[in-house]
Amino acid sequence: MKRANSNFLRRFPLAIALLGNTLAAGQAGEVEQKFLGEGVTARVGGYRPIRAEMDQEASIVQVAPEGLVKPGYGKLILGDRSWAFVIDQPEEGPNRLWIDTNGDGDLTNDPQATWEPREQGELTMYTGGSKIDLGGGDLGKINCYRFDPKDPRRAPLANTLLWYADFGYEYAFEIDGQKLQTFSAGSLESDSTLPIDRDGNGEVSRNYEMVAMGKPFNFTGSTMVLEVKEGKLSLRKADEELPQLPLPPDLRLGKSALPFAATDLDGQAIEFPKQYAGKLVMLDFWATWCGPCIAELPNVKKAYDDWHKEGFEILGISFDQEGQEEKVREFLKDRELPWTQVYEGKGWDTKLGAQYDVSGIPFVLLVDGDSGQILGTSKELRGEKLTDFIAEKLKEKKGGQ
């Protein structure tokens, strides 16, 4: 479960990597911008859906398709521009989608939008898209989807088309001799948040690699500000100096876990990973309100029951809020979770969560208590095969016996 109050979830998502182009070094305002008509969603690794309600009159278009049975009209709105659309949704037969991609009021002279059904039990979801004219010769791909209006779980979306931009921009700039590149889905806004993949590992840390528009940051030694001016990204020297932010922790397989001292729910001191010498320990960052965490509990409990006596331990780090200690204790008792737990009562501001750069839970790592080496990450430690993975690593630790 991703951090619900993160700026990252409220803005267009972005991704970043090292750039090989040569740019003028360190000059404020020098940002290279390139339009990308499609494929940005895959590059940024996510999207922010925009709601388009079908609450308009048929008069928003001048020419409508013939043979409409049960049409719903709406507008796709992006900044100060909009494009009319209609979804025909007859009781019998497939739905159809038209988008006024060239914005001339005629829904019959545009490229046909794709609109394909996906059966989900007794319900049908539709997905598709088209390309919209952004002006200046730029055509941008958009993706659309709609849940079945009869879906009781999504009743508020019964009259809604959801869509997002697959087009966007690539930005490149240089600070202190380091060349950086970022991609934005859609267009930049004054309150956008930009990620900077400073360590070039293809992932973006919300704690160490995010830049808020108009806010100073120091990733390379100089304190800079990124701003939107007339729809374009600009870079300038900040008026204040900030200390250089350290790089995110490297928590890949084979790397060393970060040692820490803490106190568990019973008031006992914890020295991690020192006190787990001779064992394997799984760090489990979780919360009582985290649905995916709870869904994983059967797999975690089975692994613990199977291998605890052989040297497998779990150390839980709760992301529950202040004043929830009794709730956490009751949860552990009801679910019969006997392993050690740390509760700071700080939610997403949990100290250990910040140390380990946790921005989504469940977040798990398997660590060798002797070497401190990371033996498993979420990729290996989720699902029904968890117990088999623990068995394999315990066998390796005991020399293959």
Domains of the chain (ranges; CATH) run: 7-47+168-237 (no CATH), 50-165 (no CATH), 260-397 (3.40.30.10)
Mean pLDDT value across the chain: 88
pLDDT at 263: 96
For residue 395, the model assigns a pLDDT of: 93
12/324: higher pLDDT: 324
Q: What is the pTM of this model?
A: 0.67
Residue 13 has pLDDT above 70, yes or no: no
Tokens of 234: 């600009």
State the pLDDT at residue 363.
94
User: What is the pLDDT confidence band of residue 30, given thresholds at 50, 70 and 90?
Assistant: confident
Q: Which of 11-25, 120-134, 196-210, 377-391 has the lowest mean pLDDT?
A: 11-25
Answer whether the bond into residue 111 is a cis peptide, omega within 30°.
Answer: no
Q: Give pLDDT, residue 2.
A: 54
Q: Confidence class of residue 46 from pLDDT cuts 50, 70 and 90?
A: confident
Residue 181 pLDDT level (bands cut at 50, 70, 90): confident
Q: What is the pLDDT of residues 285-307, one digit of tens each?
A: 999 999 999 999 999 999 999 99
